[in-house]
Chains A and B, each alone.
Chain A
Amino acid sequence: MGKNILKKFALCVALLFCAITLAACGSSSDNADKVIRIAAGNVGEGAQKVWNAAIAKFSAENPGWTVEFNTQDDDIYETVGLQNLLSGGNPPDAYFEWAGSRTAMHVANGEAADITKSIAESSLKDLFPTTAFNTTTIDGKVYMLPTGSDVTNVIWYDTDLFAKNGFTVPKSWDELMSICAKLKSAKQTCFSIGNKDYWVAGNLFGHIYSRIIGEDLYHQIMSREKPMNSPELVKAFQVVADLNKNGYINASANTIADQEGYTLFFKNGAAMLPIGSWLVGIAAEQAPKKNIDWFNLPAFTGGAGDQNSVLGVTTGYVVNAKSKKIDMTIKFFESFFSDEITTQWVAEGSAPLTKSASAGTPNPATAKLQELLTNASKLVAPPDTGYQLKVADALNVATSEVMGGAKTPQDALDAAEAKLAKK
């Protein structure tokens, strides 16, 4: 009788565990199937539609194959999301990334495929102008298919409001400040910033710092060749402190997220919105009736940097070196970058880097932004995409603290330096 029980139990327990492992194994054998997995952060509704069209085109041209487009919350994607996916059961065959140190990190981790040959052997080489891969090439090898160059931060403004008050686009920061002073006396908020995740203000002020202290010093500080609390940066932080002191930024800046910041601007809660070129598509959908335009960050008199610099970064898709379907993934991107789909991207408000995009009739606001980017005398990298996340975080947290009036520039930067020096 005892033996019987033993047998029964061993069987039950074994079955239980088999069931679990099978289920787990079952999912990972998916690698042999005909699905291309692509991961990205939040792309927005308009972009999602174009993605669907690209996927449909690919499936039509390659029967039996389909694409799983997995999007996540931006903040999660940038920090743990992508990492989790890459080390998980079904790593993506391609994923969204920003050019610069982040892509370099993937190359170092063996997760980025060298696609120089794949491009040369596919239709992709004809779809792109030769200069398109400049920013996505590391050590002579192409690692990323660029989908756009974002201008990471410009100052958007309500044209009607400006006209009504007789404001003109400011040529210097001081001019901008006097506009703000007038707005403040009329009881209006100057800037709407949604800084809950630290990068909105981080980008704006990162650009400002580079203008004041010079791009070289900015680069040195962000690469940890010079300390965070270098006196020049502390002095530059005074701009942030002054904005807070004068009350030109919405009180809720550090509490609301980026999109809530946009909404505040769209609802006429503020006159200006510092954010990147992607606002075009969002504004078209959320506030089509609002007349808005933008101007690049005005010049800082006496600033050490190039006062016409543009804050920008190239974004695109990296192919996973460990993927077993690299060829089909490239095929998908051939559909993705085809003329047919490019037209849809242009209509949505994006600015693809393919040849046909520049031939088309893009959204005027987008066109102007692309012009800004291509003609930029100097391109500055935003803190969190151009440099190590740890360093960017420290800087952005310091910025948020001074912006909210919680710390003085010296204290905030000392704390940032202390945090980074520990590691």
Chain B
Amino acid sequence: MKPSSRWTPYLFIAPALCFFAFAVLVPMIGTIIASLFQWDGFHEPIFVGLRNYGRAFQDTIFLQSFLHVGVYVIVTIFLEVAIGLILAGIVTSRKGFSGYRIALFIPVLLPTVVISVLWRFVFNADFGLIKGILDAIGKPEWNHVWLGDTRFALLAICFVSGWIYAGFYLAIFYAGLQRVPKEITEAAEIDGAKSWNIFWKIKVPMIRRVWEVSLLICITGGVQGFDLFYIMTNGGPYYATEVPTTYMVRSVFRDGEVGFGSSMAVIVTSAVLLVGFIYSKVRTNRSEVIEY
């Protein structure tokens, strides 16, 4: 449709564009520029070219943080997306389970601070809930410093993340499953197929778009993970739970390495954009089965 004046469309877009440009685009360019300098944020920046990138790729902590966030993403795919899917299947198979769906969604609404403080207490090895339970059932030797043991800390955080977001994916899959046309499932039932099979062989493939998007959200969201890691362990113990964002925050705000932090930011952003790009390419190349 043709606008009434040449300028109208641009005027319509202007407010959004201004906010977006000022808040996101300009800083994004700023980050790329900053990554080429060595700067503490207060004094004069020194141009160093690509040296920060070289440093980043050789920084063991930075590389390990990718490993950690990778573990986090994989574990949470299971704890959040897979469990969410299974729960959705159970909840949709019968009537009257909506209450559970509502209850399980509650952790998603809470500020991470609440959750972190609560679970820190649960995991506290000196006087926390888990220790209390283990003492009560007579197995005190099973107690460990959960958040202080390099073997368990990352998994503990993944577990908490799963506790929060399983309900989120449950809600998403639930809505997706609701849209599967009843005729198909009823036809299968008449043919004698069991619920379990109906679920996995019919429903799940039909909501492919939903779990594709869910996977994407889980992966991109996971890579950006910060809140839980910062409040519960702040990268500890001994960087066992360090993820790219916490390391970046520490480099810039505590160590005063704005340039170095920016170079890491560029690397992480490129990785995320790459994932998104690959994802959309894979999707468009695949032929859609049944779209509803």
- CB-contacts of A251-286 with B (<8 A): 251-256, 260, 263-264, 267, 269
- Chain B residues positioned under 8 Å from A389 (CB to CB): 254
Asked if B193 is at the interface (CB within 8 A of a chain A CB), the reply is: no
Q: Which of B8, B18, B127, B147 contacts A5 (CB 8 A)?
A: B8
In the complex, chain B residues whose CB is within 8 Å of the CB of A167: none
Known: A250-B126, A255-B237, A256-B126. A2 touches B14 (CB 8 A): no
Number of chain B residues close to chain A: CB under 8 A = 27
Asked if B15 is at the interface (CB within 8 A of a chain A CB), the reply is yes
The reply to whether A267 and B237 form a contact with Cβ atoms under 8 Å apart is no
Complex interface residues of chain A between 1 and 55 (CB less than 8 A to chain B)? 1-2, 5-6, 9-10, 12-13, 16-17
Residue of A nearest to B153 (CB): A255
Q: Which residue of A lies closest to B148 (CB)?
A: A255
**A76's closest neighbor in chain B, by CB?**
B253
Q: Which residues of chain B come closer than 8 Å to A255, judged between CB atoms?
A: 125, 145, 147-148, 233, 236-237
**A260:B126 contact, CB within 8 angstroms:** yes
Known contacts A6-B11, A16-B15; is-contact A254 B237 (Cβ 8 Å):
yes
How many Å from the CB of B54 to the closest CB on chain A? 12
Indicate if A79 sits at the interface (CB-CB under 8 A).
yes
A80 at the interface (CB under 8 A from B): yes
Is B124 part of the contact surface with A, judged by Cβ < 8 Å?
Answer: yes
CA distance A400 to B254 in the complex (A): 18
User: From residue 118 to 148 of chain B, which have CB atoms closer than 8 A to chain A?
Assistant: 124-127, 145, 147-148
CB distance from B139 to the nearest CB of A (A): 17
B212 proximal to A (CB < 8 A): no
Bound complex: CA of A252 vs CA of B236, how far in Å?
Answer: 12
With a cutoff of 8 Å between Cβ atoms, the chain B residues found around residue A12 in the complex are 15
A60 within 8 Å of B (CB atoms): no
A109 to B41, CA, bound (A): 13
Q: In the complex, are the beta carbons of B126 and A264 less than 8 A apart?
A: yes
User: Is the Cβ of A2 less than 8 Å from the Cβ of B145?
Assistant: no
B92 smallest CB distance to A (angstroms): 41
Docked Cα-Cα span, A329 to B12, in Å, equals 50
Beyond A80-B253, A256-B126, whether A2 also contacts B15 by CB under 8 A is no
Bound CA span A255–B11, Å: 54
Asked if A390 contacts B255 (CB within 8 A), the reply is yes
Give the interface centre of A13, A254, A267 by most chain B CB atoms within 10 Å.
A254
Closest to B143 in A: A251
Interface membership of B7, Cβ < 8 A:
yes
Contacts of A79 in B (CB 8 A): 253-254
Residues in A whose Cβ lies below 8 Å from that of B8: 2, 5
Residues of B within 8 A of A250 (CB): 126
A251 engages B5 (CB within 8 Å): no
Which B residues lie within 8 Å of A161 (CB)? Answer: none
A260 to B233, CA, bound (A): 14
| Known interface pairs A251-B125, A255-B145, A255-B148; A2-B5 also in contact (CB < 8 Å) | yes
Chain A residue at minimum C-beta to C-beta distance from B6 = A2
Known contacts A2-B5, A6-B5, A251-B145; is A256 also within 8 Å of B124 by CB? Answer: yes
Task: Report A119 CB to chain B, min CB distance, Å.
Answer: 29
Minimum distance in angstroms from B43 CB to a CB of chain A: 10
Q: Which residue of B lies closest to A17 (CB)?
A: B18
A 196-255 contacts with B by CB, 8 A: 196, 250-255
> Which residues of chain B from 154 to 192 have a CB within 8 Å of any chain A CB?
none
Residues of B within 8 A of A404 (CB): 148, 237-238
What residues of B have a CB within 8 angstroms of the CB of A417 in the complex? none
Interface residues of B in 217-267 (CB under 8 A from A): 233-234, 236-238, 253-255
Is B284 engaged at the interface, CB distance under 8 Å to the other chain?
Answer: no
The docked-state distance in angstroms from the alpha carbon of A226 to that of B163 is 49
Residue A334 is within 8 A (CB to CB) of chain B in the complex: no
Which of B7, B42, B55, B253 lies in contact with A6, CB distance below 8 A? B7
Task: Report whether A9 and B14 are in contact in the complex, using a CB–CB cutoff of 8 Å.
Answer: yes
Contacts of B147 in A (CB 8 A): 255
A169 in the interface (beta carbon within 8 A): no
CB-CB < 8 A to A251: which residues of B? 125, 145, 148
The answer to whether A1 touches B254 (Cβ under 8 A) is no
| With A13-B15, A251-B125, A255-B125 as contacts: A5 and B4 at CB distance below 8 Å | yes
Nearest-CB residue, chain B, relative to A261: B126
Contact between A196 and B234, CB atoms less than 8 A apart: yes
Chain B residues with CB below 8 A from A80, complex form: 253-254
Q: Choose among A5, A17, A252, A406 the residue that contacts B126 (Cβ–Cβ < 8 A).
A: A252
For chain B residues 62-82, which have a beta carbon within 8 Å of chain A?
none
**CB-CB nearest in chain B for A84:** B253
**B11 adjacent to A254 (CB under 8 Å):** no
Kindly provide the distance from the CB of A72 to the nearest chain B CB, expressed in whole angstroms. Answer: 14
17 A-B pairs with C-beta separation under 8 A: A2-B4, A5-B4, A9-B12, A16-B15, A80-B253, A196-B236, A250-B126, A253-B148, A255-B236, A267-B126, A269-B127, A390-B255, A393-B254, A404-B238, A406-B150, A406-B237, A406-B238
Q: Ordered nearest first, which 8 A-B pairs have the shortest CB separation?
A: A255-B148, A2-B5, A9-B11, A80-B253, A252-B145, A252-B125, A79-B254, A406-B238
Given contacts A6-B11, A196-B234, A267-B127, 19 further A-B contacts (CB under 8 A): A2-B8, A5-B8, A12-B15, A13-B15, A250-B126, A253-B148, A254-B236, A254-B238, A255-B145, A255-B148, A255-B237, A264-B126, A267-B126, A269-B126, A389-B254, A390-B255, A393-B255, A404-B238, A406-B150
Interface residues of A (CB under 8 A from B): 1-2, 5-6, 9-10, 12-13, 16-17, 79-80, 109, 196, 250-256, 260, 263-264, 267, 269, 389-390, 393, 400-401, 404, 406, 422
